[in-house]
Structures are given as structure tokens and as C-alpha cells.
Amino acid sequence: MHRSIATVSLSGTLRQKLEAVSAAGFDGIELFEADFVNFKGSAAELRRIASDLGLSIDLYQPFRDFEGMPEAQFRRSLERAERKFDLMEAMGAPLMLCCSNTSPLSVNDPALAAAQLHELAERAARRNLRVGFEALAWGRHTSLYGQAWNIVKQADHPQLGLILDSFHTLSLKDDATGIAAIPGDKIFFLQMADAPLLSMDVLQWARHHRSFPGQGDFDVIGFFEQVLRAGYTGPLSLEIFNDLFRETPNRRTAVDAMRSLLYLESEARQRLAPAADAQAPAQPVAVELFSPPPVPALSGLSFIEFAADEASAGTLGAFLEQIGFRRVGRHRSKAVVLYRQGEINLIVNAQPDSFARSRFEAHGTSVCALGVRCADPQAAVERATAMCSQRHDSPVGPNELRVPAIVAPGGNLIHFVPEALGTNGLYEADFILEEDAAADAGGAGLAQVDHVALGLALDQLDTWVLFTRAVLGLEPGESLELADPFGLIRCRGVANADRSVRLVLNVSLSQRTRTARTLSLTGGGAVHHIALRCDDIFESVERLRASGTRFVPISDNYYDDLATRVDLDPALLARLRAAGVLFDRSPAGDYLHIYTENIEGGLFFELAQRTAGYDAYGALNAPARMASQAQQ
């Protein structure tokens, strides 16, 4: 499929945008008029630059306030169109986008709109150009694709067709199923955009908050499916107005953009495929859709790896032993130590001249890699690289296992550990284990990794949502905004279906919060806390306090307020208060949790106990933790 992107979607000069788009593997661009107006060069020069970069100029846009106008304004608009046609011929752009009228001078007369668009198409035909008519969600008289299609049908000109934009349809909650009945050859162009669900003016929503498919909450896959069912064969393009994207380095944005289209195609292909037990043939599609290896079947975190040097490795190791971990092995060929408690494996890597050491030198003591258990690691890496991620190959010594890995956004690694190795196979191969390494030493009763929380720069959140969705097959949950004493924190969980892999993505909307200050040291994309699950949090807390572990203190006022919000047994409330444990309740179950004080680099741990079907992360308690940390 021919993949395109509007130049308005990226930051930089027009030439820089084209270079980023080409590097990301796109086939063409939609040229946004303002980008050309501010370009220091002619249309012919732009055509040459694009051609040299392997890009076609698929669309010139937008042509505004044309149809349904009084005669005098209509005639002036035709002259305006002729000048645009001159440019399009010179730059080799075959199609003009004409968006529905927003002018107060326009009249609500579909027949007049059709006649005027027919005349515009006739002028375009003389130059072998085409015109696409698009319904803006805020169009004065035409805001729905069905209205635009009726006008195009009435105009009845071969050089006039429909342009569809997922944002305009889905933001108005218009029914997209009717698209499948439109003849595919009359859909001249397709623009895709996702967005978070917001309650605001649709024009402001459109101009500032669009996102790439897979980053928002719209059913963009369903929309795309209907366009394919219509028999559409034209470009698949992105038109994204987003304030953050206008600031973000355009090479990174372009990679996200390509990943979003590949994800969209692969998901639509799955929807159009027949069920495994069905006899019906697959839904015929007139274009070839991207078909990567399937989403990896993840079954939990195998390990978390920390970057350190010799000194910090000792400090971190002492802390881990304080919270109940036991040193159970050392690496066969590297300065790497394995700590274990329950099913949790934590690796401290102080090997000089290694990837971990480079991360330590950049960010201090920090998490540098996650190991996820996976049924088919090779297919997982192949999917990741197909979805624009970079493969990473670590050096291995004799008899050590090569575990496939990829580079996650921000530079850390994700290793895909074969499920076939079982719980201990990797460590038996790569480490010299203590004789009783497999024995349960009891520790502090911490059994599993519940979730890993990342602190991200504001412009990384959408990148991570798309990455975890498209590459790892994790689905995002609700987006929340939490109050830090010095600003707001936006928080969003992502998880696989059985919840064996959970990540929590956090961004600070202020530069003064603790999260923001930590990011200034780590460079963003860093794990800022690790939640460890236990079966009896009160017993675990008691053991850890006895070992000298310090927890973030919680105000007595929190527990007074808790008693007014949740119907709790007084004895349980007293235990929570005495232990300093926080509490959250959902209709499905309860969540009890507590946070350690920070160790090096701002990293801290959370102890968590889930009951019944509780499926969140205690986010409503985060302000109590952040306020307490600010007061210390």
C-alpha cells in the first residue's frame, strides 16, 4: 500500500520534514499549503527534492471556502484555484483537497455546491488534475462524509471525488459503516488520525490533539476497515495536528508515524481475515496490507536488569538484600550478580565496556533492561523490527544463551526470554548458581513483579503507547491526571490480556514535580519505580521494617479521610494506619500498597497486594505519596 503523511504532522523546515519522512520509509507526502508558502524555493525545486528522496507529492492541501458561495466570491475562488493548479502542475501534485466551507457567506444549497464543485473539477480536468472534497467536522453546512458524498454524486464529474478523514467522522460519532457502500474509485484519498476522547470544541480538538493511529481512543481500525470494504486503492495517509509533534524531533515522529500505519494495516488485515473455523473466503481487499508476525504471547517478566558500577552495585545489592532478596548467583563471564525472591529475578550489571555501563554513565544507577517471557522470541523480534524497532545483540560467552532483544523508546532494552527454558533455564545457563538457588528463602514474602512504572518526557507518552500496543501487544487503560504538589502527572497503564505484563506510563505536565526533576537526571524513559506483589502486605511490611527498610510516611489525615470514602472494617483501618499502608477499592476488589523511600537515582519500590479482580494501580493514592515525598 502507498503510505503518505501530511507535512503539517512534523516539526522542522519543509526540507527537514521531507528528509525525515523519506528516512522513515514513506512513499509520499501531502503538502500543507503553509509549508510551501514559507519554502525558499520554487514548486519545480520542491518536486526535484522530493523525487531525489524517493517521495511523491500526492496531495496539495487545503483549498478552503469554495463551494456554496455567492457568484462574485465563487468567480474569485476559481481564479484562486487556477493559481493553485499552476503550482500543482509544477510540483507534480495530481490531487487538490477542497474542504467543506466554513465561511459565513456560504449558503446551505447542496445543488449549488455540487454545480460549483463540478466547475472546479472541469478546470482541474483541463490540466489532468483531480479535486477531492472533504467534509470538515466543523463545516458550516457540510460536516458529515455522507453529506459530502451526496454533493460529489450530484456534481457527477470524473475528476471530482471524496476525501475521507477518520478524525472528522469519529469525532462527531458518525456511523462509518456507510463508507463501505461508496464506490472505491470515487474515494480519492484517505487521511487517518486518532485522538484521545476529550470534551471540547471539535475545532480545537482537531487542531491541537490529534494523534497517530494506535495512540488514541478512536476506532480507527474499524473506520479503515470500512474504507477497504469500499474497494479503496489509493494512498493511506496521516494528517496530524498536534502541538507536541510540532516540538518533537521529526525523525522520531516520522518513525512513530510509520509504525502507526503498519499497525493499522496489520490490525485491519486481521479483521478482514476469515475466522479460523469459517468456510467463507476472506473479505476481498484491493490493496496489499502489511502482514507482520503475530503479536507476541507474553507470560510475565523474567527479570529486571539494573545498570551500575562497582560501587553502586554494592550499595544496590545491600538494599535488595535488606528488602528480602538473596544473592543466588554470579554471571559466568561478566561482573553481573543475580538476586532472587519468590519468582522475582533482579540482575545487577556492573560489567565495564557494556551496554549496561553506558546506561549507567548516562543515567546513574537505573533499570537498563527488562526480560519478558515469550512463547516465540524470534518471531517477537521479527515483529518488532518490522514495526520499526531496532534489534540489539549482546555479546555472549561460551555456553551462554543468546536472548533476542530490541531497543525500546528511550534506549533501554527489552529481552524476549524463551518460555521453553522454564523458570530457571536462563539462569542455569548464564550464571554460576548457589547450590540452594532454587530454594525459597522466604525473604519478605514478595512473590512476583506486579508492574513497572516509567517516568517519561511529555513527548514520549504517545510513542510508548503506540510501541507497547504495536510491538508488544499491550492494550492501554484509562488515562488519569494526578495531583503532585507542584503540578499534574498524567498516568496510563498498559497490560496484556492476562495481566502478566503490566507497565504504567507517567508524564509530568509541569517542570517542578518530582517526576520532572527525576527525568532531568535520567533523560526520560526511565523506570522510576517497581511494584512487587505479596500475599500479606502487613506481614511483609513488618519484616521489612525490622530489617531497617524505610517507607514513605503517610499523613494521619489520609486515614481519617479514607474512613469517610470507603466502608472499611475499623480493625482493617487501624492496621492500615499502623502499617502506613494505602488502600484503594474498585467494584472488583481491593488494592493495598506502600512505597519505600528512594534509593539511588530516584528509584523506589512499591509493595502491592491485590484481592479478587482489582485491575488498577491505586492511582488515586499517588497524590498522598507525592505530597509526603515533597514534605520530607
Residues that constitute the known binding site for Mg(2+): 451, 529, 606
Query: In angstroms, rounded to a whole number, what is the distance separating the alpha carbons of residues 366 and 368?
Result: 6
Cell of 305: 536488569
Handedness of CA 516, 520, 521, 526 (dihedral sign): positive
DSSP strands (E only) in 249-408? 298-307, 326-331, 336-341, 344-349, 366-374, 390-392, 405-407
Are 206 and 254 a contacting pair, CB within 8 Å? no
First vs last C-alpha separation in the chain: 57
- Give 551's strand partners: 596
Radius of gyration of the chain from its Cα atoms, rounded to whole angstroms: 28
Cell of 95: 490531487
Amino acid letter, 168: H
Q: Which helix (H) or strand (E) holds 491?
A: strand 487-495
Query: In angstroms, rounded to a whole number, what is the distance separating the alpha carbons of residues 158 and 213?
Result: 31
Are 104 and 134 a contacting pair, CB within 8 Å? no
Query: In angstroms, rounded to a whole number, what is the distance separating the alpha carbons of residues 320 and 538?
Result: 19
**120-147 residues labelled b (16+ CB within 10 A) or e (exposed):** bbebbeeeebbbbbbbbbbbbbbbbbbb
> For strand 413-418 and strand 405-407, is the pairing parallel, antiparallel, or unpaired?
antiparallel
**Residue positions in the annotated binding site?**
134, 165, 191, 239, 451, 529, 606
Helix/strand/coil (H, E, C) string of 373-420? EECCHHHHHHHHHHCCCEEECCCCCCCCCCCCEEECCCCCEEEEEEHH
Residues 484, 618, 366, 433: what is their CA dihedral angle, to the nearest 10 degrees?
160
Closest CA to 207 of 84, 12, 438, 32: 32
Which class for 544: exposed (0-12), middle (13-18), buried (19 or more C-beta within 10 A)? Answer: buried
- Compute the half-sphere exposure of residue 256: CA atoms within 13 Å on the CB side of its CA: 29
Q: Under 8 Å CB-to-CB from 300, ≥6 apart: which residues?
A: 343, 372, 373, 448, 449, 500, 501
Sheet holding 502-508, edge to edge: 475-484, 487-495, 502-508, 446-456, 526-534, 604-610, 589-595, 582-586
Are 307 and 365 a contacting pair, CB within 8 Å? yes
**Residue positions in the annotated binding site for a divalent metal cation?**
134, 165, 191, 239
Give φ, ψ of 157 to 5 degrees.
-135, 135
What does the chain come to in residues?
632
